[in-house]
Amino acid sequence: MTRTALIVGASGITGANLARELIDDGWTVHGLARRPGHAVEGLRPVAADLLDPAGLKAALAGLAPTHVFLTTWMRNATEAENIRVNGAMVRNLLDAVRPARSVRHVALVTGLKHYLGPFDAYATGGTLPQTPLREEQPRLPIENFYYAQEDEVYAAAARDGFTWSIHRPHTVIGQAVGNAMNMGTTLAVYASLCRESGRPFRWPGSAAQWNGLSDVTDARLLAKHLLWAATTELAWNEAFNVANGDVWRWNWLWPRLAGWFGVEPAGFDGTVHPLEPTMAQDGPLWREIVARHGLVEPDLGRLASPWHTDLDLGRPIEVMTDMTKSRKLGFTAYQPTEESFFDLFEQLRADRLIP
C-alpha cells in the first residue's frame, strides 16, 4: 500500500527525525515548514505558513497525503494566545488537506504539559499530578493549547473519517538547529562554554529534579513511535506517552555528561541557578569559540534554549511517564538515555556545531 506522509513542522526536532525514519522505511515524505530547507535527504519540501490559510491551500494543492504528522507549535506570550494560534495551525492544516480526500490517519505530537499544565502554570500551581504520568489521567481544569489542538484533531476526524493518534513525549533529545526547545543541544553548548571558560558544569535546576527519577524521549524513538501508531490498527484513536524506557536520576547523569566534555560537574548546592541569565552573557564568548574552532553557528540563540531547560530542570516534582499502554499494544522500542545524549553530542561535533 502506498504511504505518503505530510510532516508538518519538518525542520523541527521531532519532524526532522521523523522524516529520516519514514524515508528509511520507504515512504514518500513531504515536509512542511515556513523554511523547510533540505536538511533531510529525500524530503520533498513544502514552504507554507500555517497561519495563512490561502497560502497553505495553494502550497498543498496537488498533494495527496495518506498520513499527516503534526509536529509543530509556536510559542506565544500567554496560554490564551497559545491556544488561539496553535489551535488555528492544526485547524488550517486539516482544512487545507481536506479537498484531496486522501488522509487516512493524523498523528499529533503534544507533550507532558498535558498533565503538568501550560508554561504559565507549569507544575507549580495547585495539586501536582501523580507520577509516573499515565494516559488515563484526566485533563487539568485549566486552559491548555494541547487540549485545543487535540480537540481540532477529534473534530476533523469525526467530520472527515480518518483515524488519529496523540503522542506525548517528555523532553525531546535530538538534533535540530534554530528550533524552539532543545535541551540536549543547550546542555552541549553550556558544557562547551564551561570548558572554554574554566567554569564548573553547574546543575541549574531544583532539588526535586536533581534527586528524583526522570526520563526523556529520544527524537529517534519518538519517530519510531509515530510510525508504529500510524500503521498499527490497535493504536488508532488512542493517546500515548512516549519515553525512552529507562529511568535514572539527574544526580547520576549530570557527572556523566560532564565527563563526556571533560568539565568539572557541580551538583545541587541548595540553590537553583537558572541557565538563562548565565547564558544571556555568553553570546560574545560563543562567537569567539566558533571562530577559534571553525564552527558553523555563531548565534548562540539558534542552538540553545535555556528558558526551556530551566523550566524542565527547575520543576518542583520528579517527572517520568508510564509506557505500559504502548508496550501492551506491541511498541517495544527502547533507547538508553545516556546514549541519546552521547549520540547527539557526537553528531553536533561532526556537524561542527560544538567544538
Ligand X SMILES: NC(=O)c1ccc[n+]([C@@H]2O[C@H](COP(=O)([O-])OP(=O)(O)OC[C@H]3O[C@@H](n4cnc5c(N)ncnc54)[C@H](OP(=O)(O)O)[C@@H]3O)[C@@H](O)[C@H]2O)c1
Triad 61, 232, 240: Cα angle to 5°: 90
| 244 touches ligand X by CB under 6 A | no
Q: Which of 5, 6, 13, 275 binds ligand X (CB under 6 A)?
A: 13
- Per-residue CA distances from 344 to 100, 118, 257, 321, 341 (Å): 38, 27, 11, 22, 5
Number of helices (H), then strands (E), in the chain: 15, 13
Q: Cα 46–48–51 angle (5° rounding)?
A: 150
Q: Which is nearer to ligand X, 4 or 175 (CB)?
A: 175
Residue 239 in grid coordinates = 493517546
From candidates 29, 46, 50, 68, binder to ligand X by CB under 6 A: 50
Q: Does 38 bind ligand X (CB under 6 A)?
A: no
Instruction: Indicate the residue among 173 and 258 with the shorter CB distance to ligand X.
Output: 173
The DSSP code for 235 is G
Helix H segments across the chain? Answer: 13-24, 53-60, 79-96, 113-116, 145-160, 183-197, 207-211, 219-230, 250-261, 275-280, 283-293, 300-303, 306-313, 324-328, 337-350
Query: 227 by DSSP, 3-state: which?
Result: helix
337: which 3 cell numbers? 538515555
Nearer to ligand X, 49 or 264 (CB): 49
Contact 173, 341 (CB under 8 A): yes
Residue 107: name the closest of 64, 186, 163, 174 by CA. Answer: 163
The answer to the question of residue 179 lying near ligand X (CB under 6 A) is yes
Q: Does 14 bind ligand X (CB under 6 A)?
A: yes
Q: Which of 289, 288, 254, 257 is nearest to 273 (CA)?
A: 254
Binding piece for ligand X, criterion CB under 6 A, among 58-66, 180-188, 197-205, 226-234: 180-188
Closest separation in Å from C-beta 185 to ligand X: 10
59 binds ligand X (CB under 6 A): no
22 forms part of the interface with ligand X (CB under 6 A): no
Catalytic annotation, pick one of 115, 122, 146, 190: 146
Number of residues engaging ligand X in binding (CB under 6 A):
28
Q: Find the helix packing angle between 283-293 and 183-197, rounded to 10°.
A: 80
Of these, 23, 46, 83, 176, which contacts ligand X (CB under 6 A)? 176
Compare residues 35 and 328 and give the one whose CB is closer to ligand X: 35
325 catalytic, yes or no? no
Q: Which stretch in 48-56, 122-130, 272-280, 286-294 sits in contact with ligand X by CB under 6 A?
A: 48-56
Q: Is 110 in the site for ligand X (CB under 6 A)?
A: yes
Q: Which uninterrupted H or E stretch holds 153?
A: helix 145-160
CA atoms within 13 A on the CB side of 44: 11
Site for ligand X in 116-175 (CB under 6 A): 169, 171-172
Does residue 181 belong to the site contacting ligand X (CB under 6 A)?
yes
Provide the minimum distance between the beta carbon of 291 and ligand X in the complex, in angstroms, as a whole number.
27
- Closest residue to ligand X, judged by C-beta, is 12
Stretch that binds ligand X, among 103-111, 127-135, 279-287, 329-337 (CB under 6 A): 103-111
Q: Is 147 considered catalytic here?
A: no
Please give the torsion angle defined by the CA atoms of residues 263, 261, 296 and 304, in that order, rounded to the nearest 10 degrees.
-70
92 contributes a contact to ligand X by CB under 6 A: no
Of 289 and 333, CB closest to ligand X: 333
Return residues touching ligand X (CB under 6 A).
Answer: 9-15, 33-35, 49-51, 71-74, 109-111, 169, 171-172, 176, 179-181, 183
List, by residue number, the catalytic residues. 113, 146
